[in-house]
Amino acid sequence: MTVVYSAAIFQEYERVLIELASNFPEIDGKPFLDLLRRYGEIVQPVAASGVSCRDPADIKFLDCLIQSRARCLVSGDKDLLAVEFGAISILSPRQFCDRYL
């Protein structure tokens, strides 16, 4: 099992972790980002025509999913969880754990 991400996804994770740390100083997102850099696989997605989502900012996740040919996308984002994507599963973290771990 490999975690894949794009530069745009990594930037969003950095932004969210900085925001969390400003509200909760005890949170340190650096170890998560370091793990992602070390063990994840970065892909260069091509914008997928015809892909839509309630939140256009989430398209980067679907583009990465398509480019990487992953079997599933794990997200807690309600807009992504609402997307129907053919045979590819979009799972919540709990669903992923129940299915694969």
Question: Could you report the per-residue pLDDT of 41-65, keeping only the tens digit for each?
Answer: 999 988 766 778 899 999 999 999 9
- Structural element, H or E, at residue 91: strand 89-91
> How close are the terminal C-alpha atoms of the chain, in Å?
11
What are residue 67's phi and psi, to 5 degrees? -60, -40
Which residues form the domain of 63?
Answer: 4-100
Q: Which of 16-20, 27-31, 83-87, 93-97 has the lowest average pLDDT?
A: 83-87
How many domains is the chain built from? 1
Instruction: Give the pLDDT mean for 13-42.
Output: 94
What rounded mean pLDDT belongs to the chain? 92
- Is residue 8 scored above 90 in pLDDT? yes
Confidence (pTM): 0.87
